[in-house]
Structures are given as C-alpha cells and as structure tokens.
Structure 1
Amino acid sequence: MSFEMPKYTHPNFKSEVFNNAPDAKYEIVDVDAVAPENYHAMSIFPEYFKVEGKWVLAEETRMDCVPRLNDEGKIEIVEFRNLRVGDKVIVGRTEDASEGIYLYAKGFEEEEEVEEAFAFRGARSRETSQTMDYDNLFELLKHEKENGYVVWVMGPAAVFSKGARDSLTKLINAGYVDAFLGGNAVATHDLEAGVYNTALGQDIYTQSSIRNGHYHHLDLLNKARRYGSVEKLIEEENITSGLIYSCVKNNVPIVLGGSIRDDGPLPIVIPNVYDAQERMRDEVRKATTVICMATQLHTIATGNMTPSFRMVDGEVRPVYFYTIDTSEFAVNKLKDRGSLSVRTMISNAQDFLQRLADNLE
C-alpha cells in the first residue's frame, strides 16, 4: 500500500448559478474588534467569494472567523478581536452563491460506494478494526515527512510510560514531528522523567510510587525556573531523551498554552491565552497532518482552528486530522465538526506510539 494524494476538483464556475451570482458585498468596520451586522462566519471547508466578477478561494480558512477583503482583492481570514476600523468584512449568511458566497464541501469526494441497507458496526467504536487505519497512517506519515508538515498535539499520557516516551523520542529524531502543541503538564512530566525517571512520582517503567515522589514535578518546575529556560535545564540536568529534549535537539517548535490550574509553570509556557492561540495558529497554518492524542481540550482547541484543506504549491489538498484516545466519546467529539478528514482511533498512548515507532523506523 502506498499513499496517494486525493485530487481536488473546483466547482464548475461556468455554470449559470455562478455566472448570474452578484459580487459578494462588504461592510466597513467602524469599531475595533466588532464585525458589521450580518457578517459572514467562516467554516472549515473551502469557501469562494465573487470579487469583481471572479470567484476567489479563501486560501486559508478558520472556523468562526470572518473574511476580510484586502486592497488586492484577496480574502483574508481574521478573528473578530483582530478587526480594525476601516476593514472591509464580507457580509451575507447564505452559502449557495446567491450572495456571491459559495461553500464547497465536496471537492475531494470520490464516487460513492453503494452501502448495504442493513449492516453491523457502522459507527466507530472500540470494537472497530484499526489495521487499515494504521497502515494508512504509516504511509501518510512517510509521505508527509518529505512533503508535508505534521503537527502533534499531546497530553501527559504520552509521557507517563517509558515505552511511550521512548517511542516519541524515536519518532521526533526520525523526522515525523514538525511541531508540538500542548500544555504545561505534558512537558513537565516529560522533563520530570528525564531528571527523576518518574511521572507524577511514579517510576515510568515499573509504575511504582517513589517515596516523596509527589514532590518530583514541583522540584522539576522549581529547577526549570531557577535555570530560566528549558534548554538550560536540559543541559544542567543532563537530560538525553524524551519529548522536550528531542524537540529542542531537532529544532521542532514547541507551543505550550497555559491554563488556570498550572503548577509553576515551565518558563516556556505562554501565560496569555490569546498569545498562545496565535502561536498555535502559526503552526496550524502550516499543518498538512495533525495528530491529537490523549488531550480532549487541546484537541478540540486545535480542531477548531484547523481547516479541512490547505493550499500547497498552488494546489488544494486535504488536511488529515487524527484523534487518538481511550474513550469513544473523546475521539468522536471532534468528529462532530463534520470535517472531511477527521480519523478517529481508539488506543492508549503507549500502544499507539510504539506501533508507529516500530513501523516507521
């Protein structure tokens, strides 16, 4: 099995419905951070706007943002808070071309297979076979290593076991991780493992609770803050494996968003939520594949800013989005977004990461 990129088909803009459609209308922003009445809100799908008689694709979209028409006739997608007086915001609530706005969700669709009227196990569950899912993911990641940008979003479970942490080290060193998004906890416990061989005070191999182990993550945070940087912590404490060490070593961008319950936090954590969101968006804007694992909140946050497509070298391609968790509810929650390319897999972090590392080495 080898990976083959799906081909995108643009709408037929020669048809009557598009030729007869008016230009999209816009209104001028008169108060900073406030959109005009009847503003158009973006989706995760490709959307086209008729500008001076031509249909223009908004090449970068983000859900719940608004389209801004710039002076060159291009469509920019901006958050409400980033609107400024004088901006031209596209208005209209229809998406069928009647107001010069067209949402297109079928660009990657192939000929539909005829399904049985009655069949077992139509939904994804813990009983669903994932053999083909893994095979497809192996081939996708091999392709993306050379041609794409793979963003990983991970929770602490990714580093709670030696097997998972060692597998992450292999995957990062082998070039399968282009950016890492998460929170304070996953980085803290990864570095705790690097210094004390524990995560939340438990040995990452034996899972035995160490005497006074509940101090370890706090001691780790204290050390990091005394050194002033994660890089200095790694150097002074001789950390030679794990998620953060491998990212630093391989110049993989790390974006850690702060939360209300953080201990410490690490010096690398971004305390302002909007600054963190902007940094996350910087990486998501480049993403062609996103893999979210064992962190429901960060998964949903990343999913809400990730479009279903990306423009690469003038061509439209899908963005592949994977959610991996032990809970059916957790993996299916994001799928409710209706994305073209969300794949759900039910697995614990260790099994998933080890299977990837073993097959991609």
Structure 2
Amino acid sequence: MPLRLPVYHPPDFTRPDLATAPLAVFEAVAQDGVAPESYHATSIFPEYLHVAPGKWQLLEESRMDCVVRRGADERLEVVEFRRLRRGDQVALGRHEDGRDGIYVHDDGFRLAAQPQEKFAFRTLTTRESSFSFDYDELYALLAHERQAGFVLWVLGPALAFDRDARQAFARLVRAGYVHGLLAGNALPTHDLEAALHGTALGQEIYRKQPVAQGHYKHLDTLNQLRALGSIERAVARGLVREGIVHALVEKHIPYVFAGSIRDDGPLPEVIADVYAAQDAMRALARRATTVVCLATQLHTIATGNMTPSYRVLPDGSLRPVYFYSVDMSEFAAQKLINRGSLSTRAILTNVQDFVVTLERGLRG
C-alpha cells in the first residue's frame, strides 16, 4: 500500500495568547563562542519566532541544543555555540509557549492518538514487542523515500561481521534505498577486511572460525588501504570487489566516516578532526527525510542531535523526518530518547537479521 505522509498543521497564530505575544528579543554576543544569558536553545520540533507584528518566522533548518542567530538580512539560522562571533544577534527566551515571542509546535503532524486504558500491559517497547507492523511500515516508507526522499543510514560494525548481512545491505545500496551513510572507522575497516580476507576481527564472517594470526587482519587491511591512499583507489584497482563500502563507491553514495579516540589506522577517508566530522555529518543529516540507525549507540545519539522531526520541502510545506533505532539493547533505544530524540521509533532485534529481513521484504 502506498505511503501517505501525514499533513502538517501549523499553529493558529490568531489564538489570543499568540496574537498578543511580544516580539522575540535578540541580544548581541559579547565574546566569540559564548551566547548571551537567557539564550533560547532549540529542539527537534518546528519553532516559530515572532519577528514583526503578526509575522511568525519558522526555523527552517533546526536541530537540538543550538541557538538562533539573526543575520543582517533578518534571516534566522540555527547555529552551534562554537560558530557565534562577537556582535551576532542571538534570540533570548526560556519559554516555548509564545510568551517570549518563541513558539515550539510539537503536535503539527497530529498523528491519530490511540485510546489508552488506565491500566494496561506492554505499554513500552521491549524485545518482547511485536515488530511485524513496524517492518510493513518501513517497507512502505522506504519504497516512497527511494524516489521522493533522502534515506540516511547510520551503521555500527556489527553489520560487517556477517556474510548475509553485508550482502543484503550492498543490495539495498544498489537498489536505491541508501542515499547517504554515517559511520565510524570500525564499520568500513571490518567491511573491507571481509572483502580482502573473508574475516572480521580475525573471524570468518560465515563459519565464525578464527583464522591464523586473525588479529592482524584488520591491521593489514588498514595498512593496505593507507598505502594506496584511498578506498576509491582500492575499488578502482580491483583490490576490493564486494561489500558495503564497495557498493557505496560503485553507486557514488556520499558517506562520512568520523574518527574516534580508539581508532586503529585509521582508514584514509576517516575525518580525524571531531568538528570537521560533525560538520560533514550535519551536511548529510540536514538532507535526511528518513534516518535508520543500526547498532551504534554513540553515532545514533550524535545523529539524533543533528536531526529535527521535520523537513521543509522546496514548495514550503513541511513533512516529518522518520528516525529509526535498531538495536538488541533496550537501553540503547531508551538512551537515545532520553537524549531528546523524542520521535525515535525503536526496533529491538539483531541488526544482521534486521537487514536481511528488510532487504527480502523490499524485494517482495
């Protein structure tokens, strides 16, 4: 069944409390990188600032834990604290109901509420929850997004440890269901190790048998790639012939591999500067209409911090951004939600099984 995106309902600014709301207040930054006291911190929801009598301006590219800067052309932009410069005009206000000229609209898509019993079992998502419906929803969503959206995947290394999962995800890439990818050094390293040696961290990716001197395999992979100078060169020369990374390069899918304090090597494409990596990740996150995160808690939370619950389309209309967290750990899913990604949908399962099942379902 074709997906029908929910319709966005903007706030009613004729309501007495909003019609009489004051204009948003701005104050100049006194020190680079430091916001004025009482600055307004943004959220994942659509936010409107009262910038002139009767005129409420939507923040078009928002994300949580940032501030609102007003430019010389009166345009409002959401920026990190580190981007503030002396003299910048920053919005003030800690109330989100309009009384500071700032309104946070958290129910714009008005999904149908299910009637709730006062006492009921199984009201939380756990590993015992049924997920058949979630898969069916995801099939419909990805079929829609393949043509009309931007699907951003956030991958942990577990996906590279299994033969069938690697092959299934590579098929998703080639079928057009992957428009961008975020990961650390581990995912591409072990995927390339599998392509070169048939192992991941020294263990065969099908039979799970350790190989002789297996602990060298990922280091040998890193060394080979570093000697060549790039992943693309390894693919072009035929050294890497299959796998997730091979499919990304083959289909020219943009990716960001962000460095970590614990990295080996790392691969040539890994961005070691944390803020350069953050900027590169944000560039893809701001294009996303659906985000699917697989077994990588820290990268999932980081991406959640960058991703609002809505996207403004070229015609000015708003649509929801769908955010999925797939993990075996209930704690991982709950921690993401507890960090502010309130629109997250959790599927609690092994990510290798998830990708294989998802790819089969999308094939029909």
Question: Is TM > 0.5 for Structure 1 vs Structure 2?
Answer: yes
Identity within the alignment, %? 51
Aligned 8 A contact 1:58 1:74 in 2: no
Aligned 8 A contact 1:288 1:310 in 2: yes
Q: Which runs of 4+ in 1 moved over 6 A?
A: none
Output the amino acid matched with 1:354.
Answer: V
Per-residue deviation, 1:239: 1.8
**Counterpart secondary structure, 1:218:** helix
Per-residue deviation, 1:261: 0.7
Question: What are the within-5 Å matches in structure 2 for residues 1-361 of structure 1?
Answer: 1-53=1-53, 54-313=55-314, 314-337=316-339, 339=341, 341-361=343-363
Q: Distance in 1 between matches of 2:236 and 2:212?
A: 26
Aligned 8 A contact 1:287 1:319 in 2: yes
**Counterpart secondary structure, 1:62:** coil
- Deviations 1:107-142 (CA, angstroms, capped at 9, x unpaired): 112342322222221111111000000000000000
State which drifts further: 14-23 or 156-165.
14-23
The number of residue pairs the alignment matches comes to: 361
**Counterpart secondary structure, 2:74:** coil
State which drifts further: 67-76 or 17-26.
67-76
- Deviations 1:287-313 (CA, angstroms, capped at 9, x unpaired): 000000111111111111111111112
Aligned 8 A contact 2:170 2:247 in 1: yes
**Counterpart secondary structure, 2:42:** coil
**Counterpart secondary structure, 1:159:** helix
Output the amino acid matched with 1:350.
Answer: Q
Q: Distance in 2 between matches of 1:27 and 1:77?
A: 15
Per-residue deviation, 1:2: 2.8
Aligned 8 A contact 1:41 1:65 in 2: yes
State which drifts further: 240-249 or 266-275.
240-249
Per-residue deviation, 1:71: 2.5
Per-residue deviation, 1:30: 2.1
Per-residue deviation, 1:197: 0.9
Aligned 8 A contact 1:44 1:308 in 2: yes
Aligned 8 A contact 1:200 1:217 in 2: yes
Q: RMSD of the alignment, in Å?
A: 1.2
Q: Distance in 1 between matches of 2:233 and 2:27?
A: 51
State which drifts further: 91-100 or 214-223.
91-100
From the superposition, tell whether residues 209 and 66 of structure 1 become closer, same or farther in structure 2 (CA, over 3 Å).
Answer: same
Output the amino acid matched with 2:7.
Answer: K
Per-residue deviation, 1:34: 1.1
Per-residue deviation, 1:328: 1.0
**Counterpart secondary structure, 2:110:** coil
**Counterpart secondary structure, 1:72:** coil
From the superposition, tell whether residues 339 and 261 of structure 1 become closer, same or farther in structure 2 (CA, over 3 Å).
Answer: closer
Tell me the TM-score normalized by structure 2: 0.97
Unaligned runs of 5+ in 2: none
Aligned 8 A contact 2:235 2:249 in 1: no
Per-residue deviation, 1:60: 1.1
Output the amino acid matched with 2:83.
Answer: N
Aligned 8 A contact 1:258 1:269 in 2: yes
